[in-house]
């Protein structure tokens, strides 16, 4: 479903060109959840933005569902199909929701852009799917909790029926108990809709909960692809990955305990 081959992303900066991602390669099969972990600034968000065609690809190639991603490739009908197929949810649900739009307006927008009909029906169903009742439909973001805002952001992403969901630290801004609710919601939705997911997190417990594979990034490069079982059981080889494991609060005990989720679910 996702094929990233020797991807290099280069930004122009005041001090010259800077490669935020260098020669990164990975593949994600349909319906699979792939994790990207690494310290802050290692290039995780840049990889996600490359998957949506939002950053300049200086080398290598990115394809989604067999379609090439990139400035040229994203013109016309081909590009619109691709944009609809790949949706993103960000860390800060407050920043990503328009403060003066009601939930209804926020959810109506992508439907209009993509020319989807039966708006009222779709919006009501989307709210139900993320566990928000009809009462939330005409609220503004400031009238919602952080977890509720993130549910709205997830509903917005799913409304256009994407095949790929990109999650950039989707629970990092939330309280631990709310994190677990949102992770459980994401896991249920991913299974029900057979979504292909790339999840970025600095938290290996979060990755271990949602993903079946993980790659470790450092300084723009993928440095290790430890097995997910090894991550869950803390048997990683690479010193850097070990330090990420230890940096994950409470990880020493148990990945699921650390984020307050039921590992058997």
The interface with Mg ion within residues 42-71 (CB under 5 A) comprises: 45
Minimum CB distance to ligand ADP, residue 208 (Å): 18
42 binds ligand ADP (CB under 6 A): yes
Closest residue to Mg ion using C-beta atoms: 45
Q: Rounded to whole angstroms, how far apart are CA atoms 241 and 227? A: 12
- Phi first, then psi: what are they for 151, rounded to 5°? -65, -40
13 binds ligand ADP (CB under 6 A): yes
46 binds ligand ADP (CB under 6 A): yes
Q: Rounded to whole angstroms, how far apart are CA atoms 7 and 253? A: 36
- Phi first, then psi: what are they for 94, rounded to 5°? -75, -45
In what helix (H) or strand (E) does residue 75 lie, and over which residues does it extend? Answer: none
Task: For tokens 């691709």, name the residue.
Answer: 82
Q: Which of 38, 93, 141, 208 binds ligand ADP (CB under 6 A)?
A: 38
Size of the site for ligand ADP (CB under 6 A): 12
Contact string (CB under 5 A) for Mg ion, positions 26-45, x = contact: -------------------x
* Nearest residue (CB) to ligand ADP, 12 versus 100: 12
Binding partner of residue 40 among Mg ion, ligand ADP, none, CB under 5 to 8 Å per kind?
ligand ADP
50 binds ligand ADP (CB under 6 A): no
For 102-115, give the DSSP string. Answer: -HHHHHHHHHHHTT
In the chain, the DSSP E strands lie at 2-13, 16-28, 33-38, 57-64, 67-68, 86-89, 164-168, 196-201, 213-218, 221-224
- Residues of this chain that interact with ligand ADP (CB under 6 A) are 11, 13, 18, 20, 38, 40-46
- Residues of this chain that interact with Mg ion (CB under 5 A) are 45
């Amino acid at each position: 479903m996702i094929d990233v081959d020797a991807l290099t992303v280069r930004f122009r900066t005041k001090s010259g060109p800077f490669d935020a991602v260098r020669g990164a390669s990975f593949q994600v099969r349909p319906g699979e959840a792939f994790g990207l972990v690494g310290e802050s600034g290692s290039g995780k968000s840049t990889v996600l933005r490359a998957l949506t065609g939002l950053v300049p690809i200086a080398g290598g190639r990115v394809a989604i569902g067999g379609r090439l991603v990139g400035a040229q490739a994203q013109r016309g009908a081909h590009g619109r199909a691709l944009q609809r197929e790949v949706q993103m949810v960000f860390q800060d649900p407050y920043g990503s929701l328009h403060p003066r739009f009601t939930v209804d307006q926020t959810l109506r927008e992508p439907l209009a852009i993509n020319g989807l009909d039966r708006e009222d029906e779709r919006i009501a169903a989307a709210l139900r799917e993320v566990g928000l009742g009809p009462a939330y439909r005409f609220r503004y973001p400031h009238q919602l909790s952080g977890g509720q805002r993130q549910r709205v952001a997830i509903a917005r992403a799913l409304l256009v029926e994407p095949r790929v969901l990109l999650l950039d630290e989707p629970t990092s801004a939330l309280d631990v108990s709310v994190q677990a609710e949102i992770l459980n919601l994401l896991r249920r939705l991913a299974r029900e809709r057979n979504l292909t997911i790339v999840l970025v997190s600095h938290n290996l417990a979060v990755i271990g909960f949602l993903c079946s594979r993980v790659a470790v990034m450092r300084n723009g490069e993928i440095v290790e692809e430890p097995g997910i079982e090894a991550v869950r059981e803390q048997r990683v080889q690479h010193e850097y990955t070990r330090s990420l494991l230890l940096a994950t609060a409470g990880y020493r005990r148990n990945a699921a305990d650390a984020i307050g989720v039921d590992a058997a679910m």
